[in-house]
A = this chain, B = another copy of it.
Amino acid sequence: MKKILNNPADALIEALQGFTKAHDSVVRLHDGGRFVTRVERKNKDKVAIVSGGGSGHEPMHLGFIGTGMLDAACPGEVFTSPTPAPIAGAIEAVTGDAGCLMIVKNYAGDIMNFEMASEMCDHQVEIVVTDDDVALLDVTRSDDQPNRGVAGTLIVEKIVGAAAENGLSLNECAELGRRVNNATGSMAAALSSCTVPVAGTPTFELVGNEIELGVGIHGEAGRERIELCSADELAELFIAAILEKLDVHTGDEVLLMCNGLGATPPIELYVLFNSAVLNLEQRGISVARSQVGTFCTALDMAGASLTVTKLDQQVLALWDEPVKTVTWQWG
């Protein structure tokens, strides 16, 4: 394992300490590193938005804490759900009379722990589960292979974050979050594996020019292994799969996110984004808004994902609301 770390078992707490030192005008570390909140005091009139899950996906969720998005995030150890107690701590720290909306990616451990946390609190709590990954939609699936929550989770967080800031109620925020999740599809491909610090060896192996099409953000298997193809071909594979889920047609406007999985540099992400825009335009679909960067990662995995969200007037207006978090991208 070739990583910049001290003791691998301390990677999470040291990264959290570094993160909250670097951005101490935006975020604050609590309870010895068990959860992170906005610096500003909680607004009792606003629905609190809380997320979290296993670490190793940075900047998700930590980088999206701040005005217009999350009030708190609760990071578990790498690829491991946080336990209920710190999640409950995060809820208590930021929730007032308007209640709390939790955005939880669709993994059994996360859902169990976030639900248990909500039962430990006296506040009114709703859960929106994200399952934007379309990689397994066309595969015969068992219950062990649900659709996963991946990069589209950040789009749900942005929209409900803005809605909460604008004073929408808990039920309105929850309904909106579910609607955005249903209007969002994502697919990823891995060009390399990733290495969990305490494991020290790669999670899986790719031989030669193989890529894992439809890979999960913990290195879960996808649809198939194929030979590396061009950016144009990869964009076509992603978008064709995503559009099977979405009700998007000629003349519609979408939001397009091109996301790096950790080790892929900007030049490749912008090439893929450019291919994806051209692909959608050829289908008569217009890319009205976008984000391109490294947002939802699988540690040091090389590769990228595309996420498409169908836009309507409400979602577009909320997308354009201001954000002040560490990671949100201008322009």
Contacts and interface: CB of A to CB of B under 8 A. Distances in A.
A322 to B, nearest CB: 11
B331 A272 contact: no
A312 to B, nearest CB: 21
Interface in A268-290: 268-275, 277, 287, 290
A274 B18 contact: yes
B4 A304 contact: yes
Nearest to A266: B58
A313 interface: no
Contacts of A66: 330-331
Interface residues on A, range: 35 or more
Contact of A302 (B55, B275, B300): B300
A245 B24 CA distance: 28
A59 B14 CA distance: 26
A6 B275 contact: yes
Interface stretch (A88-96, A98-106, A224-232): A224-232
A242 interface: no
Contacts of A275: 6, 14
Interface string A152-192: 00000000000000000000000000000000000000011
A329 interface: yes
Interface string A288-308: 001110100101101110000
A78 B14 CA distance: 35
Contacts of A290: 21-22
Contacts of A59: 266
Interface string A10-35: 01101111110111111100000000
A277 B330 contact: no
Nearest to A63: B266
B56 A267 contact: yes
A58 B273 CA distance: 15
A273 B5 CA distance: 11
A120 interface: no
Contact of A18 (B25, B26, B277): B277
Given A18-B292, A325-B330, A266 B3 contact: no
A49 to B, nearest CB: 18
A26 B331 contact: yes
B265 A262 contact: yes
A230 B63 CA distance: 25
A55 B304 CA distance: 21
A207 to B, nearest CB: 11
16 contacts: A5-B271, A6-B232, A12-B267, A15-B271, A18-B273, A18-B277, A21-B273, A22-B273, A23-B331, A58-B266, A58-B267, A265-B299, A265-B300, A267-B299, A325-B331, A326-B330
